[in-house]
């Protein structure tokens, strides 16, 4: 093809057809420019397809992560609801009209059942973090959709915040109080599964029965647990909405 154009150009020059040669040269330049523009456009199309495919891959993975977190939040909310109800029952139990009517065994059972560390699942956020760090949000033009994805990150941050505050009620207040006033019998070593030696039950009744300080601790615990449960309810709604939005866009 190149040799063909060269022959035509040489023929024009030999015949002294300068005008025709110039027109031909201009046409050749235009064709080259058009070819370059077409190549650039094709390259842009290829890049856009790659970006679209990469974005869809991340969004599909985000849907999977959301579904995993929905299962964890369902467990967490059920756990919190039961713990909140058990704590309320314990508070009522520890305020008897006649203190002598409340046995030590009933107190021990209530404390062992409802006044414990907070066992909740940690939520997944690896895919979300990767999506943000990979710059995927820059390729999402719908600002409302982008905002919903960013809101997911904020919700995960708030979940960690509420979870830490709820956990601290046990670590900083209830656990030290239990160690000082209550001795649990027949505990199991949770790491090696070795039964601890049996010890005689020991409980400071006055530290629990009609005790305003302990009652205030339980009330503080309820506040933090209810805040966490409320946030979980809100997260479930937001994640469900975001999941459906993503599915409608990638299918």
Q: Report the C-alpha dihedral over residues 201, 205, 211, 214, rounded to 10 degrees.
A: -10
Residues 187 and 196: beta-carbon distance below 8 Å: yes
The pLDDT, as a whole number, for residue 83 is 94
The pLDDT, as a whole number, for residue 23 is 61
Residue 188: strand pairing partners: 195
Q: What is the pLDDT of residues 135-172, one digit of tens each?
A: 999 988 899 999 999 999 999 999 999 999 999 998 89
The pLDDT, as a whole number, for residue 184 is 52
H or E segment at 111? helix 104-114
How would you class 67 by CB atoms within 10 Å of its CB: exposed for 0-12, middle for 13-18, buried for 19 or more? middle
Q: What is the pLDDT of residues 58-102, one digit of tens each?
A: 999 999 999 999 999 999 999 999 999 999 999 999 998 888 889
Share the mean pLDDT of the chain.
Answer: 84
Cα distances from 112 to residues 24, 172, 204, 241, in angstroms, run 95, 18, 15, 39
Q: What is the pLDDT of residues 163-220, one digit of tens each?
A: 999 999 988 999 899 888 876 544 444 445 556 566 565 688 999 999 999 999 999 9
Residues 182 and 203: beta-carbon distance below 8 Å: yes
For 227, residues 6+ apart whose C-beta sits below 8 A from its C-beta are: 162, 165, 166
H or E segment at 75? helix 18-93
Residue 13: CA count within 13 A, CB half-sphere: 7
pTM of the complete model: 0.76
The pLDDT, as a whole number, for residue 18 is 59
């Amino acid at each position: 093809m190149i040799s063909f154009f060269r022959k035509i150009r040489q023929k024009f020059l030999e015949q002294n057809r300068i005008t025709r040669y110039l027109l031909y040269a201009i046409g050749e330049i235009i064709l080259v420019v058009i070819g370059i523009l077409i190549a650039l456009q094709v390259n842009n199309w290829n890049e856009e397809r790659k970006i679209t495919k990469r974005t869809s891959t991340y969004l599909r993975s985000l849907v999977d992560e959301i579904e995993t977190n929905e299962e964890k939040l369902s467990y967490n909310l059920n756990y919190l609801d039961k713990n909140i109800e058990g704590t309320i029952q314990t508070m009522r139990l520890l305020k008897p009209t006649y203190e002598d009517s409340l046995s030590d065994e009933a107190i021990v059972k209530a404390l062992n059942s409802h006044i414990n560390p907070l066992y909740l699942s940690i939520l997944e956020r690896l895919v979300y973090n990767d999506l943000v760090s990979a710059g995927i949000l820059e390729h999402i033009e719908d600002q409302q959709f982008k905002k919903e994805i960013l809101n997911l990150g904020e919700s995960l941050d708030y979940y960690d915040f509420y979870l830490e505050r709820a956990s601290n009620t046990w670590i900083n207040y209830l656990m030290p109080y239990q160690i000082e006033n209550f001795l649990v019998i027949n505990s199991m070593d949770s790491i090696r599964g070795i039964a601890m030696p049996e010890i005689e039950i020991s409980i400071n009744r006055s530290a629990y029965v009609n005790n305003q300080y302990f009652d205030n601790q339980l009330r503080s615990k309820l506040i933090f647990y209810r805040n966490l449960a409320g946030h979980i309810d809100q997260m479930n709604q937001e994640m469900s909405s975001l999941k459906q939005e993503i599915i409608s866009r990638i299918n």
